[in-house]
Amino acid sequence: MAGKEKNLGSNAKRRFRRNKAGLKFPVFRIARFLKVGKYDKGVGAGAPVFSLLCLSTLQLRFLNWLELQRGMKKRLVSLQGIFNWLLGLLRKLYKFLRDVTILNGGIIPKIQKNLLPNNKSNTSKVVVAAQEEED
């Protein structure tokens, strides 16, 4: 048995971090993704809990908005538009995710400059370089 498990009483249950924080998302998995992705030199204990708290807040706002839309019987817009609307409500989260492009999200409202071709000569160089890499 591991050292931590020895100290548990006979009826004591193991408490996960998500249960302590009152979240439904797996905190340990997000902490592992943050550490493996090397987003920072050191990931503290509160970082995954805070990020999951933001995700749960987004989830609740999204569900509340869907209930309002269903009640008003309006046509639903794309998930990309809903997500951008929710990010607009949370200014801190918008500042954190302003450079993120959501894949398979439909219409991108702010297209990044590196995704747009400048002219035909520039795109032909990219195609030639891609063909050379394949060979």
Q: pLDDT 10s digit of each residue in the chain, 135 long?
A: 455 555 555 556 777 766 676 666 677 777 887 788 777 777 787 888 788 788 778 777 877 777 776 666 555 555 666 666 666 667 766 676 666 655 555 555 566 677 777 765 555 555 555 555 555
Question: Domain boundaries in the chain?
Answer: 3-134
CB 54, CB 34: distance < 8 Å: no
- Give the pTM: 0.40
> Domain 3-134 adopts which CATH fold?
Histone, subunit A (1.10.20)
Burial class (CB in 10 A: 0-12, 13-18, 19+), 71: exposed
